Structure 1
Amino acid sequence: MRVLVQRVSSASVSVDDEIVGEIRPRTQGLLALVGVTHDDDAATATRMAEKLWGLRILDDQRSASDVGAPVLVVSQFTLYANTVKGRRPSWNAAAPAPVAEPLVTAFADALRGLGAEVAQGVFGAHMQVSSVNDGPVTLMLEL
């Protein structure tokens, strides 16, 4: 599992011009773009949620768990693109939708179980993601 996380002052995701998920934190929140690969499982999703929730990337070296920062979770299979050969990315490392969708949901649910306020995109939909990066701070998390 890979999560590209950005510290944001706001973020939203829309489908067909309708906002389906949005965070407007008091100070800072996190936008989590989540990619799933073939050998990921529910335990991987839980560990990744714990890692993200405790990651000290907010002001004053605080974590989302320290301040109750909201998280916007958006599925992002393109995090597993292979661009080594040619000009067309290969998506072979990305898990197929029947595997990936429940694990993205498990990741979001694990965050909620830790106490996070979580908004989500729509798996498999053509989404427009808007965010205001704060810092900017962008990190790739992998397990």
Structure 2
Amino acid sequence: MENHHLLSTLIRAFSPMGCHPTLIFFAQRIVFEQRRRGQSASAEHHCQREGLRMISNRDSTRRSRMRKKQQIEGPQSQVNKLQTVNRQLSQKVINLLENNHEILQENFQLKRVSTLHNVLSDVFAPLRNSNDPSMTPKSTS
């Protein structure tokens, strides 16, 4: 009866912490072995404490491994995300530089056309003035 109480205590103690089913199995096995051997009360109590310590140590080790894994995977995940953002930003910079180059070329062409227009205006201005009837001198007759 006392062994059954130990087993239920072990299961209740470790279940809320997410104890692995294998650890529960070991707790059951310890209680079963104690019953089979018919150990004395003090020896049984010592074995129970050793069993609890063993289960607790294994569970603690499992949690420690999980924490370590998260500590490693967390920064690695951030590195991957930042590398992705960096690639996207680099591509945007390349696109902006290409657009800037196209705009500069277009601006250069427009300046050439504007300069040509000004030169032609200057060249043809006297001709326009001479063909303009309002610009012809009035006869004094």
For the criterion TM > 0.5, the same-fold answer is: no
TM-score tier (shorter): under 0.3
Q: Which has the higher strand share?
A: 1
Flag the structure with more relative contact order, 1 or 2, with Cα contacts below 8 A and sequence separation at least 6: 1
Which one has a larger percent helix, Structure 1 or Structure 2?
Answer: 2
Which of the pair has more CA radius of gyration?
2
Q: TM-score, normalised by structure 1?
A: 0.23
